[in-house]
Amino acid sequence: MLLLIDYIYFVYGLAFFLFGFSILNYPSESSVFKFNNSLLYLGLFGISHGIYEWVVMFGMLRGFAAEGFVHEAAFVLMFFSYFMLLFFAVSVIWGRERRLEILALFTFIWLTALILFSGFSFVNMDILTRYLLGAPGIFLSAYIFFRPDYIAHSVNYKKVKPYLYNLGLIFLLYGIFAGVIVPAGEFFPASYLNADTFQSLSGLHVQFFRALCAIGAIFSIIKILQKFKHETDMRLFKLSRALQESGDTVLITDKQGKIEYVNHAFEMQTGFSSEEVIGKNPSLLHSGEHPQPFYEQLWETILCGDTYRGVIVNKTKEGALYHEFKTIVPLRNKRNEISSFISTGKDITSRISLEDRLKKAASTDHLTGAANRSQCNQWLKSAIERAKNSDFSISLIMFDIDNFKYVNDTFGHNAGDDVLVTIAQIVRSVVRSSDMFARWGGEEFLILQVETDFEDTISLAERIRRHIKEHTFKDVGRVTVSLGVAQHQNQESIESLVKKADRAMYQAKKEGKNTVVVDGRY
């Protein structure tokens, strides 16, 4: 027949079991506890302590037939539960650096006491375990629950302060009822202050008060976890809304790169709906503007746990290219393993386009679209520097429009501008994409060729002369040019090379214009 004490043991065990179960099921990744990494030990204490009380109850129901088994199982469970609680308290108060040292000290004292005083009887081992492991673990945990700096940040702490104080008080009382009031023993103080003397004075079994503490503990921890969960849910809701309404694109993938989430800005930027991209790889945005090693380097960076920041050219669903300043952050789970990546992107296409236009404006002649003199000087400097250290050929064509002053004076400056623009178009249609074409100034133009046979440069000059001569210019009619061609010699300066081409060009004018003169051949 079940007695009242049996029900008390059952409720006592159930309360502690639920205490531990609630903690272990609390999502530690979103925890606002400062001692998040130590929650496991507090949960294991609750689970194992609840089972311990049930084992004791089982032994009482079975009587002496199960006495040996019950004593062994109960002692192991009690030792484990109190050790876990002490491990939790020491980890929170002293940190990971010193916890093993402190635990080793407690364990050494406990083992020494067992050898000296217990006689290895289960009753004495039970008492010493409560005194040397249980009481310190319980009282230290109570101390933690009274200290806000161990629990949570101030904003969260204020919301759960009453329940934390309740839990601290409950642990303080439980430390007295379970760690000080122990089974009757043969040595002091267990021989005077024990469960039997407590019952004779109060008229109630100490288990009743322990059970009340356990019920109070589960009530308090559930309230605390509910408050924290509500706080976490609100933070996640706000974060979710912020991500969804953000003007920057947000994309979350798993470790393998499969897309798990995209926000509204991503859909607007790319033209892809979330349904079209969830479960797929971000490579569907690849524009073809970056080589494969670029993406390999990106993945190497984030898989190492580092944050990637840089500009990426992506492609929309319709095939349009856009520039995005991308930040990719690895996210880690509670085992400190990379579990996913969150990518944010800011569309900087307009900025890049403006920069390109400004750069082009700074290096381009606004009338003809050819490079300006400043850009041409940079090309010359770069080519000359390269030629110093290698067998690198450089050839230069300089040409001038014949009688251009007559064109301006006779037909007007607008007609003269049209002539300049048309000549630039003719030249671009003749030269190679690797050739560098610039307006040197006024009606003078320059073409720079590298790694080209000099005879081919001379032939190019002749083709340009012929194409311009054969073209009929609007309002003006026929126009001719005089061209000078020069080749760079070892260690020759830019000024010397340009001067040679210039001399050859003026020699062409002296020889009647509309001709090509090669430096050193006149």
Give the CATH number of the domain where residue 492 resides: 3.30.70.270
* 217 and 321 both lie in a single domain: no
* 198 and 252 both lie in a single domain: no
Does residue 193 form part of some domain? yes
- pTM for the model stands at 0.55
**Within its chain, how far is the Cα of 156 from the centroid?**
26
Does residue 410 form part of some domain? yes
List the one residue out of 259, 235, 270, 264 whose CA is nearest residue 247: 264
Domain containing 309 equals 246-353
Report the run of H or E that residue 7 belongs to, with start and end.
Answer: helix 4-24
Model confidence over 422-456: pLDDT tens digits? Answer: 999 999 999 998 899 999 999 999 999 998 999 99
Between residues 232 and 135, the one the model is more confident about: 135
Q: What is the mean pLDDT of residues 109-120?
A: 82
* 143 and 186 both lie in a single domain: yes
Model confidence over 148-163: pLDDT tens digits? Answer: 777 765 556 777 788 8
State yes or no: pLDDT of 138 exceeds 80.
yes
Instruction: Give the chain's domain count.
Output: 3
Using 50, 70 and 90 to split pLDDT, how confident is the model at 81?
very high
Last residue within a domain, chosen from 187, 220, 241: 241
Last residue within a domain, chosen from 324, 353, 382: 353
pLDDT of residue 502: 94
CB 447, CB 387: distance < 8 Å: no
- Which of 91-100, 119-128, 261-270 has the least mean pLDDT? 119-128
* 489 and 380 both lie in a single domain: yes
Does residue 358 form part of some domain? no
- Sequence-separated (6 or more) residues with CB below 8 Å from residue 40: 24, 28
Using 50, 70 and 90 to split pLDDT, how confident is the model at 4?
low
* 119 and 231 both lie in a single domain: yes
DSSP symbols for 51-114: HHHHHHHHHHHHGGGGHHHHHHHHHHHHHHHHHHHHHHHHHHHHHHHHHHHHHHHHHHHHHHHI
DSSP letter at 434 equals T
DSSP symbols for 324-340: EEEEEEEEE-TTS-EEE
Judge residue 52's burial from the number of C-beta atoms within 10 Å of its C-beta, 0-12 exposed, 13-18 middle, 19 or more buried: buried
Does residue 51 form part of some domain? yes
- Which of 64-68, 69-73, 134-138, 316-320 has the least mean pLDDT? 64-68
Does residue 359 form part of some domain? no
Does residue 325 form part of some domain? yes
pLDDT of residue 24: 87
pLDDT of residue 55: 87
Distance CA 334, CA 354 (A): 45
pLDDT of residue 10: 85
* 175 and 69 both lie in a single domain: yes
- Which of 16-25, 28-37, 322-331, 489-498 has the least mean pLDDT? 28-37
Question: Tokens 């009757």 map to which residue?
Answer: 184
CATH code (residue 304): 3.30.450.20
Spatial strand order in the sheet of 436-441? 436-441, 444-450, 394-401, 481-487, 516-518
Q: What is the mean pLDDT of residues 38-47?
A: 92
Does residue 79 form part of some domain? yes
Question: Tokens 């043969």 map to which residue?
Answer: 186
pLDDT of residue 20: 92
Report the run of H or E that residue 397 belongs to, with start and end.
Answer: strand 394-401
Average pLDDT, the chain: 87
* 155 and 268 both lie in a single domain: no
* 259 and 336 both lie in a single domain: yes
List the one residue out of 309, 305, 491 whose CA is nearest residue 390: 491
CB 345, CB 246: distance < 8 Å: no
Q: Computed from CA positions of residues 9, 15, 17, 20, in that sequence, does the dihedral angle turn out positive or negative?
A: negative
Last residue within a domain, chosen from 353, 383, 406: 353
Does residue 346 form part of some domain? yes
* 256 and 231 both lie in a single domain: no
Q: Look at residue 437 and give its three-state secondary structure.
A: strand
Model confidence over 281-311: pLDDT tens digits? Answer: 999 999 999 999 999 999 999 999 999 999 9
* 495 and 415 both lie in a single domain: yes
Question: Tokens 């029900």 map to which residue?
Answer: 7
* 257 and 232 both lie in a single domain: no
Judge residue 169's burial from the number of C-beta atoms within 10 Å of its C-beta, 0-12 exposed, 13-18 middle, 19 or more buried: middle
* 299 and 230 both lie in a single domain: no
State yes or no: pLDDT of 407 exceeds 70.
yes
